[in-house]
Each structure stands twice: as structure tokens, then as C-alpha cells.
Structure 1
Amino acid sequence: GRIIGATYGDLHQHPHAAYTDETVFRQLVDKANVAIEIDDLEGNVVYRNKAWNALFGYSADQAAHLEDRFLEEDRPLLEDVILPTSQQEGWQSNIVQVKADGTQFDARMAMIGLYDNEENLKAYSVITDDVSQMHRVMTLLGQQTARLGVAASVSKAMIDHNDLDGLLEEVARLISSHFDYDVVLVQLLNDEFDALECALVYTSRGVISVDEMPDRYLPLSQESLSRWALQNRTTLVVNDVSKDKRFLPSKFLPNIGAELVIPLKAGDRPVGTLNIQTRRKNTFTDDDVEMVQSIADQLAVAIHNIQLFEEIHARARDMSALTEISLSLNATLDISELAARIYSALNRLQQPDRLVFATYSAEQKRIRRRVFSQDGMKDIITGFDPEKDIIARIIHQEIPFVWRTEKERAAMLDFKPDAPLPVSLLGIPMMVKDRIIGVICIEADREYAFSENDLQVVLTLAGGAAVAIENAELFHSMSRRVQELAAINEISLILAEKFGSEAIWRPIFNKINELLNVSAMFIALYDKETQSLRAPLVLEEGKWTSIDTLPLAGLSCYVIESGKLLFIHDIDQQQEMLKELGIEPQVIGKGDNARTWLGVPLKNRDGEIIGLLNVQNRQPYAYGQHDAELLTTIAAQISLALQNMRLYQQVEISLQESRERARRLASMHRISNVVSASLDSSTVLQSAAQLLVELFEVNHCGILLLDPHRGDGKLVAEYPSTGAVGVRVQLIDNPIFDQLVRTNRPHAVRVNDPTVPETSRRALELVGAKSSLFAPLIARDRVIGSVG
């Protein structure tokens, strides 16, 4: 500003000064890319450059006044602060400016007084720059940071609250306060899955008692926005509810203008809906919907976990009522020990050759046999095939099978068993409440081994054993549910504490292994572009490893391509099914002996496949449907964490890119200042070379000027110095320079390129360059040199 003022003063005090003084002023001001003006003491703009006219929207001959560009409320600041400060050390700050058409923009303004040689104040020099775009970028970054803060607060609330009401209230409060929504409504499915029950209503006045609401229950038979979102499992945005007939107005919550409905899902299980309502129409932006969707996904898992926990407590209460009966009928809750005690009792009474104590899982279609004989006990797990297996046949028909001779056996059997059968057999189903849970089968290799009394004894034992088994299953189920809930919560903590780190996998694997007792397990992340998988962690027989690249094939390929859970109970026995699905099993690691294989896809919020989670066991039928649901829940947690991790990384990249852009803009501004601040060409060129090295982060920059009389070019500036300044380069028949002149565009070359002339190659080798980018210097449509 002082340089501009001095030049301006000289021109006006010496109107007949040399032409070069005006040339200097024009070079400094007229061609500057920032808005520059000079105002007289009355505030009239007596000079402004082209950039000023373009910024403020004035024509070249249109009068302008300094005060006109200030908001009414800022004009006292101009008189009381800006002008007095400018007369001394100068003033600069951010302030809102007004264009000729009345529009406003954020500006960075610098003002300083201009004095003559006698230190008399003559005018003011003002430089103005538009910083609106930078402010918008910073605002967007601030909004994104705030959204991430809300998501973190929601995650903390889910960890801190074990009660459903407290969790819902805290999450609703966070959503309402951050997004300034009028109503946050949470509806949960009832036990019959035929209606939505309002669990919480949160407004600007706080929580409203749902007992006061006349429309607390919403039948799913009734058309509504919530029913549509729940049935289609899709987020629904209605920015004008008056135009959607599915909207159900509430007398309790009137004057609603827009509504956002997000289905709450824990894995594939629907939980309810999160409804956001505002009195303003056209409220919901894509960014807001995405953030609320993320919160809803976490909330659904948390609700599901709490409901599981409450269900376990309900079962525990029921179990307490059966304690006295259980103690009288059962001496143990261990089914294997129970079977051993029954065998011991029968052995004292009947001395059978074998006792088959079989338990049946209808969910898993699995039979577990504990076979007792004089040789000890064998534990055998098989599938359910009533066409080949006598135990499965008894379960299928739900009636006792009794024969005492081979003839009776032949008369009773109407199928071909896959194993030899005994001569005498008593097979009694164990039933509880018309539900078959297993079979007690005593066998003998002799005829008439069992009497009618033996039949009554086994019937009695079967009844008592059925009750004992049910009690044991309830106990183990409760213990398992508690263990699962604790593991799920611990996995949530691990995902939160080790967010963004590869260290999350091992503790998560340990928790899964505690629940499922795996033989092998891996997580694979899917790269859609390369159609490959990366396994950051593989666990097999207690050993840890990782696999960087896996081909997309076999069972994993089916899960990735179909996006569906794949559950193989027995790979050896289900080869035909695999062929029908077009799957050829391919193992990861050394899991070639796996019999049970369970793979769950990992999906992001858009339903896109991002990987899979797999567990394997060397035993067939090792897992059931409940295990599959548990793994799906864990996979949903991992998927959410991976998605959040990728969002976080994207934000980090955006911040890094913003910093890089700011750095480059600052360097470009410095180059502009250097070019404008000195008339010494060598100083300007040397400074420009140094700044270009810093701007593009290159090893070397040199500036070559053309000597048309000699037909060559001279290196006039370089940074860092290699002593090459003054070196001349032949330009006649030089393909590099010819292309610059012909195209007026930059050109990249490598030193080892055979088309590079020898003089150019020597010049490049002199500065140690391996490759270079040449850009033409153009003045008045003519190439006068190059920067490389």
C-alpha cells in the first residue's frame, strides 16, 4: 500500500514525470488480480483497477464512494475506527462489503493512509479480497465436525445407558438439539409384529408422556408413512406432508410440515421406526438424512441389545418359579452327565448293550447322539434324515418304536436304514408340551431283551429326562444370551475404542471365538475394483495370520456376489446343494477339514457389499440359526464401524486437500506479490523460481529467456542454485521449444528420451533432473522463454 501510495503521489505531484513512473504504477496496480482503490479524504474513489470494478460490479466510469460499500451498521466503525487506524499503522480485517447491485459478500480489507513528502495525508489506499468461498468451506467443515460430534455423543449414550427409556431420551435430545427438529418420535414393534407402539416423544418442551397420546398404537394394517418405511426397509423423506396421503396427522402434534421416517433394523430384524418431524416444509437435506440414518442404525442395534437383555431377565424370572421342581426332578443341568446317570440306572435294571441318548434341535435340524456301551461313550452329531436313520424316524413320527425280534423289526420298518439295527429296541421320544426334544433308545443284540415293565421304566425316564433337558436348555440358553449380550456390548466398546485401527480385529475375534468355539475364522474386506478380497486377520486353530490378496472365488464369492448369508451345516454331505448354487468350495488358510461353514456379508448403509465375516468348525452341524443371527448382529456392528471409519478417512482427506489448496493459493499469492513488488527482473525471476519450487514441491526450477538474435536461450534464474545460471541452450531445431511455440502449452520430457537434444539433455543433467515439465512464458501472444 505504501509503494502504491508513493507512486501515486509522485504522479500527481509531478504530472510531467517520466513515462516510466506511470508504467511502474500500471504494473503494480492496473494489472493486479486483487481489487485496489485510492480514495480521497472525502471518501470518493478517485482510482480503482479492473479487478476492483469486477469485484464490486461497477462500470469503469461509474462514480463510487467508500461509505456506499459498508453496511449501515458498520459505517460508524468506518468513521470511528477504520479511518483513524488507517492514518497511523494501517487497518486490516474481515468485514462484509456491498456490491453495486446491493449483494453482500465476505471480504478481507486492508487500508492505509497516503502521505506526500511533507507527511500530509492526501488519500487512502484500499485493497479488498473476496473470501466468501473460504468461509463457505470452513462452514461446511464445521457442520461436518458437528455431525461427527453428534454421532460420537450418540455412541457414548448407547454405551452409558442400559435402560431403554434413558437411551431413547438421550438420543432424541441429541438429535433435536443438533438439528433443531420440532419432534423426535420413536416407535417400536410389538411382540406380535402387527403394530407400532410409541416408545418416546421428544419436543422442544422435552419428553412428553406417551400415556397421554390418544394415538399411541399404530396398527400395521393401517396405511401410514411408518408402515411404508418399515415394510420396504427404506428411509422415507416427505418434505411436504400435505401432499402425501399416507401422512397421519395427530391432534397431539399439530402443524407438521415435513417428516423423515427411518426404519430401525438390527441386522435383518426390524425393530421399529425413528420419525423426525418439523413444522417447516422442505427441511431435510441429504447430509442431515445421512447423519440421522447413521444414528438410527446404531440406535437399532442398541435397542435390540437391550431387548435381548430384558428377554433374558424375563426368562430368568420364569426359571425361578421352576427352581423347586427342577431340583426335585434333576440332579444336574449337564445333559451329558444326565445321560450318563440314566445309563447307569438302566444298566443296573436292564443291562442293555447300548443306550442312545439323542437330543434333537428342530432349529438346526441336528441330532446329537451320546452312545453308551461297555466300551465307553461316543458323541456323534448328524443331520436329520428320517428316510435313513431310525432315531430321526422316531422324531419325525413322534411315536415310540418297540421291537423284540428281527421279525417284529422287519414288520415295523418301512424304510432302508443306513446302519445295522439291533435285534431288540426300545425307542421312546422325549416330549415337552407336545414338542419332541430327543429320544431315549436302549438296544440289545438278543431277542426279548426288554419287557413291558422295561417299557414303563423307559417311559418314566423319558418324561423326567425331557423336563431335565428343557430346564438345562433354558439354563444354557439364558447363560448363552447373557454371554452373547456381554460380548456384543464389549465388541461395541472395542469398535469405539480402537476406531480406525487394524488392532480392532483380534479382540473381536476373541469374543466371537468365546461364543462359537470356532476352528477357523476370518474377516475379508472386498475391493470392487480389483474383484479381490483382503483378509486383515485369519484365526485358525489358535494361530493368527493375515492375507493381503485373495481371489474372489468359492463360498466367499457366493456371499459377496449374492449379498446373502451362506450357512453350510455339513460341507461333506451338502456337495449337491453347493453344485446347484454353482459353488466350488475354496478354503482360506488350512481350513480344508471344515465341515460347518457360516459366512455373513458386511454391508454399508447403502446396502453395498464391503466384505464378509466367516466362522468355520471341523464338526458338522456345529452352529444353528441363532448363531447365524448372532453373527449377523456382530457383522452389522462391524459394518457400521467400517462405514464410519471410511467416512472419517474421507473427512481427513478433504481436510488435507483443503490445506493443500490453501497452501498453493498462498504460494500463488506470494508469487503475485513478488512479481508486483520489484522492478529488478533478476530478483523477480529468482524469487519466482524459488516460490515455484515450494508451490509444486519439486527438486529444481529454472527460467530460460529466448534470445531471438542468437537463436538460443539463456538460463537467467534457478532454484536451488547449481551454478547453471548463464548456461545457453540451442533452440533452433529443438523439438521441446518447437512444441512450446507451436502449442503454447506445457510439455513434459525425460532426460533419457532420445528425442531430447543434446544441449537440452546436458542442461537437465547439470541440475540433476531425471524428468522435467516445461511451460512457455508468453507475452503479447509470443513465447519469450520457458519455465522448467
Structure 2
Amino acid sequence: MTASKFVSNGVYPTSTAVVLLVDVSGIIHFATEDIDQLLGVSGAEAIGKSLFDLMPPEKQAPSHHEWSTFVQHVLAEGPHAHNFQTILVEGAGKPLSVRLRVTPVPNRDELLVQIETETSNIERAQTLALQKVISAITTLDIREILDLILDQATYFIPSDGAVIVVEVNDDLHLVSERGYFEWKDIHSTYPSAEIMRAETTRILRETRRPLIIDDCQNDPRWQVLGAEPSIASWLGVPLVFRDTFLGMLHLYSSTAHSFSQNDANLAMSFAEEAAVAIHNTRLYEEAQTRAQMLETLNDLGVAVSRLDLHGVLEVAYQKLSQVMDTRSFYIGVYNPETRQFWLTQTYDDGQRIDDLVTPIEEETGLVGWVFHNRKPLIIHDDNQDLYPIPPITYGGDTRSLVILPLMVQDEFVGVISVQSYIPNRFNEQDIAVLQSVASPLAIAIRNAQLYENAQRRLAEVSALHELARTVTSTNSTESISQMVVNSLHTIFQCQASALLLVEGDEVILKASSGVAPEYIPLARWKIGEGVAGKVAATGQTMYIQDTQAVPDFMYLEPTLRSMLAVPLNFNDQVIGVLSIDSDTPHAFTADHERVLNIVAAQVAAAIENARLLHETRQRTVELEDAYRRLQSLNEFREELVHNISHDLRSPMTFVKGYIELMREQMLGPLTEEQVNALEVIDRKSDAMLRLINEILKMKDIRPDTLEFVEADLGDIVQQHIEQARMSYVDSGVIFEPAPRQGPLMVRVDLDKMDRVLENLVANAVKFSKAGGHVRIYCEPSEDRRHGRVIVQDEGIGIPSDKLNYVFKRFFQIDTPDGTSLESGIGIGLSIVKQIVEAHDGKIEVESEVGKGSKFWFTLPLRGG
């Protein structure tokens, strides 16, 4: 065979319905089951074989070469039918001369092959029409095929109009029309109950044979349907494939007795081809649907590993839309924490509807029924199947629906649903698809929920950590408050957040996020009024799940539907209220309350600390100001005392001179009484001069006024022990030296250091009883960088609350018997402290009433 034998659009009679789908190399991808009758090979066995396997062995090699050339010609010519003549082997092993009518499938690397055998010339005209029909099968578009069948039928069979009715889900649908018959919107897939109940339909269904009504006006089998035009005669043939009723072909005429038996036979031939086309197309669609379903399940299996809930739901809807009618559809996701349904991916008759969140307590519709019963709900036809409860629909009346629960083990995750305004819209395959999808979808939703919960809690912990860090580093109450409400708004994604503080008998808004500016001045309540006032009064958390269910709820914003408020407690006292709210009822969970209470505890402490810090700073400023004033007064006092002392010393010198003249009776003789009085005046004058000199010397005790020499502390202490024993021999006090621990070399002003030791020893003796011990010794410090001198007695001791005042200038401590710790006006120990500190030293005291006192001072050692 050569390329010249390829006849494009040739006419060749046929009586078979064997159709193959092959690739360019001849490998069979699809075969109708009629191939078994023709070649003795089943459709399933044929798939995967080569066309050449069906030929006699001697024809295979040459046919293979001819086929390659033929295919190039077919592809070059475009989407038209081409004939390829060859020999195939029948089931009985006999050669069979056939024509292969080959048409390229648009946009695919495949060819549609119709196997044609020879028929009689009587059928040639019929075959011409049927050939065009068969060529249309390459499109696998049932509407296009049926339209072409009507074109050919009305061309070869005289008539005024024709209709093809196809049975879908036990209902008849008008899918194609020709002529004046336009009494329904044929192309909108309209279910016709009238045709379903017609007597002619019953006859065609039962007999599976053509039916001619020559006189419709007088034949009892005829009944007028709807608003159809005047019909005088009618021809109907069933669409039957392997004893399965698939629909009907009706032809109409306005003239009686228009149709013959030959017309009926030809119409039956068209009907047979239509039935084959419908069957094959449905097989192909079912195969495509199964493939798409497997792809959908695979994609959903992949989606299970996704952790984006919105992405999972979108994938589910898009994939299901490829294999079934999802024009009315939704997925309901259940949140067990909030006990809410989130209805999403919602469509009504192809129109997207906004998501809806509703509490399960308010879900009284079919979703609520599925939730409470954990069972699927399937309604094929609401005229025959009763709803368990009245349905809630968006547009018209829902006629059929499927709602399946989404379960992970015993845990309810949500629902998936399809609905239709057409009865019997969903078949067993649709339900099987939904059931297959339900399990992986439920797992995907649950995993996404768990991931989102984990991410949310991680974000909450991070936000709380950051909030705690920033709050503790902020010292402004206003800054803390605003920072907190901003963080809460971000953490909870709520409508608004607010922080209120108690002031007097009110709780007043101090910071907010999400609250409209016009409402902020109104946000203040009396203690005990409103949610914030009640929380401030009771110190208890309040959760208003639905504000519309609370008759006396005091609204700040009209959109507010739920509110959670917790107290700000500090030291068992409510200092304020922290709240979040939402425009959705039942918006908050125990987790929200837990996190909000954690924040409240941190915030209350931070606010109170900020308040205390503010008060402390104010107090510090006040104290610093007072200290400066006091220091100024003290300096003024010291200057005044110094000036007065200086001014008094000259007069006192004259007084002393005159006392001396009077004692020597240079101013005249004195009586004994006058001499005694003069002695008293002399002693008091000496005391006054000593006091004046001490005061004047205090001003000059500075490091730059001292005359330093290097000396051994041990030698200085030993000298004073010897002096004390001689000076206080009559006191009865026993002086105990301690063993020396080597030289302790220091730089000192010996005169000033003598005054220090004289003063400390004098006080120790003064307050010690006869027989009491006074220890005077020195030792190195623990780090051997300082030398320490200790004077310890067993006297009456000093009260602990007075120890801090011992070294204060002009301060005197009265003992229980009324005596003063030191004589004079109380500047001895003050001078001691001043001298020690001028030596870069430090003096301290320990004492216990009734057990004695211990004074010690330290001086830096040379080279220490």
C-alpha cells in the first residue's frame, strides 16, 4: 500500500462500532468492548497491544512501514478523517478486510481509529450520515456528538424538529434540539418530569424498539407536553447500549403520517451510534474522573504534609471541582477550643460566599446535626428523602446534598458538603469521591490546626518574652501601658485591647489599640459598673462570650460581640484591668485567659514599679534639695561657730589674765570665799578655752594640714598603754595589752594620733567600773594592707539605735544613769573620726548594752 491509497474524507460503509485510541506508533491506549465481537480480543486485552499484533504475520512488517508514512500524511493534513485499508485477523483466525478510519485527536499525540467492515450498497446513504457522526466521536464531547446526530437525522429524515433526551441519574434531560421545538431552554440541562411520565417514554423504555405515532391528535398514547407547538406525527427511538436505556431520539412533524418504517430504521441506526457515543464518552469520562480522583487523592495526600490550613482547604476545593459538581459547596472546620464552626470555601451556585464563623451552640442546621450525630447526611431528592431538620439554604430550595463528617479517629474535625438545586445530582461515585477525600482532608486539617496552635503558642511565648524584656526596661507607666496593648493586639489578633487603671472610685482607660478615637474619652466606669468596673471591684476575671446575650451590657463600641477582662493585681490590691475584645461571639478560649493573666501579672508589677520609681525619683530630688539646703546651713553653722569661737578667744584670754592677777592679789587682797570662787571661774575659763581651741582646730583637720611621719603602730599603742596606766592609776581599770604581731608601719601625724587614742581611752575608762578591763592593741587586717587599732572596754555599752550617731558632731548619748558618753559638748569622737579619715582611714564601733564597747580604726600600711 502506498500513500496514494490514502483517501481523505472517503466514504466507506460500516456496520460496526469498534473504536480505538492509539498513539502514532500504533500502540492501543483505549478500545471499545465491541472489539471482542469483531476480533475476539477484549477491550482490556487490547490496551497496550500494537495494531500490527492484530494483523496476519505476513502483513505486519509491510503494514508497519505503510502506517508510518500514513501517520505523517494524517498529521500534516490536520484534524480530518483518513482511510487506511488493511487486513486484520478475526477471532476464528480468518483474515478480515477492513478500513481504519483515522482522525487525529486535537492537542494530543493520539489518533482515533474506527474499524470499518464492508456492508451492502443499500445502506450507503445511511452510512454517509453515520460516517460524519462517527468522525465527531474524536472530540469526546457528548454535546457536540448529539448535535451532529440531530443534524444528520433531520437532514435524511424529513421532519420539522427533533430532540435528543439523555437519562442522567434516573432523570431525563433535554440536551439537544433542532427545528421549531423550543418549548424549553434545551441547552441548560433542564430536568423534564413531563417527559419522564409520558406514555411514549414508557413504551420506548420497555420495548427498546422504534415507535411511530401517525396521528398525534387521535392516538391515545400521545399527550401534549407543556407549551409545545402543534405536532401531527411523531417518531421516537430509544438510545440503548447493551440493553441499557440511555435516552431517546424524538422527531416531530406538523403533518400526519410523515414517518415510514425506513425512517424508523434509519433513526434507529442514528440512535445506535448515539448510544455508542454516549457510552464511550461516559467510559472515557469515567476513566478521566477516576484518574482525576486518584490525582486528587494524591494531591490531598501531599496536602496532609502541608501545614497551611488555608492552603489545604483551597487544594481540596480545587481538586474536587475537577471530578464533581462543586458549584454549591463548603467546608466547615471545627475549633474545639472556641466551639466554633468556620465555614469556608463556600460557594452557592458557583458564587463565592464570605466565610462565616458560628458557635456550635448556634449551629442548629444540618451541620449541627452532623456534628451531634457524627454521621453522614445524604439527601438525593428532598421530595422523596426527608431532612432530619429543616435545611438552611442561600438561594433557592436545596434538592439534593451530601454532608460528611471529617473525623480523625474519634475526634470531630469538621464537615465537607456539596449541594444542588437539582434532585439526584450526586451519584454513588460522587459520594465515594467525597468519602475518599474526607479522611486525608481531616488529617490535613487537624495537622494544620496543631501546627497553627503550636506556632501561635510559640509566637505568644516569644511575644511575652519580648514584652517582659521591654516592660522591665521601661520606667514610664504610659509607655508600658501602650506597649502592652499593642502587643496584645498583635498576639491575639483581636478587634481591640485596652488597659485601664483605678483612680479613686473609677477605672479609666489609659492605653488602647484598635479602639476608635471617638470612644476613648468615654472609656471610664465607676467601680462595680460595666465589665471593667466589676473586674476592678471583685478582682475576678470576666469573659462575656456573647454581648448580645447580656441584657445590661454597657457597650463602648457597637461591633463588640465578646470580651475577656482580667484584673491587674499587685500585693492583693487591684490597680487596674486588662481586656481584649472581638467582633465575633465566643472568640476566646482558656488559652487566651491564661496568656492574658500572665501578661497582667507582669504588667501590674511593672506599672507599680514604675510608679514607685517615679515617686522615688521625686523623693530623691526633694531629698537632694533638702540635703543641699542642710549642707548650706551646716556650713553656715560651722562658719558661725568658728567665727564666734575666734571672737571669744581674745576676751577669754583677757579674762584668764585678770583671774591670774586677782589670784596673785595684785588687784587687792581676797577673802577665802573669793579665792574659792575665783578657782571655779578659772576652771570654767580653762574649759571654755579648750572648747574654743577644739572648735577652731576642727576646721584645720585636713590631709594637707597634717605633718606626716613614718611610725610603727605598735610603738604608738604601747606608749599610750603606759600613759594610760599612769594617768588612770586611781580609776581601778586594768589595761591589758595584746601580743605584738610584728611592725605595722604607717604614715601619721603623731600629735593628731595621740589625740585619737587619748579620746578613745578616756571614754573607755570613763564608762568602765573599777576592776574592769580595757584592752588596747593593734593587728594587721586580713589582707595585710591595713593596720587596725582596737580599744575595747567592759563598760555600760551603747544602745544599738544610737550607734550611727556616735561620731556625729555635737551629739551626746545619755546613759541609763543620766551621764553623757563624753564630757563637754560632744565633739571629741567627731574630731577622732575627722582625724582618722584625714589619714585615709576608717573608724567603726561595736557595742552591746551592759557588756561594753569596741572601737577600732584602720590606717593604710606602708607598702600595703
Larger RCO (alpha carbons 8 Å, 6+ apart): 1
TM-score, with structure 2 as normaliser: 0.36
- Higher Cα radius of gyration: 2
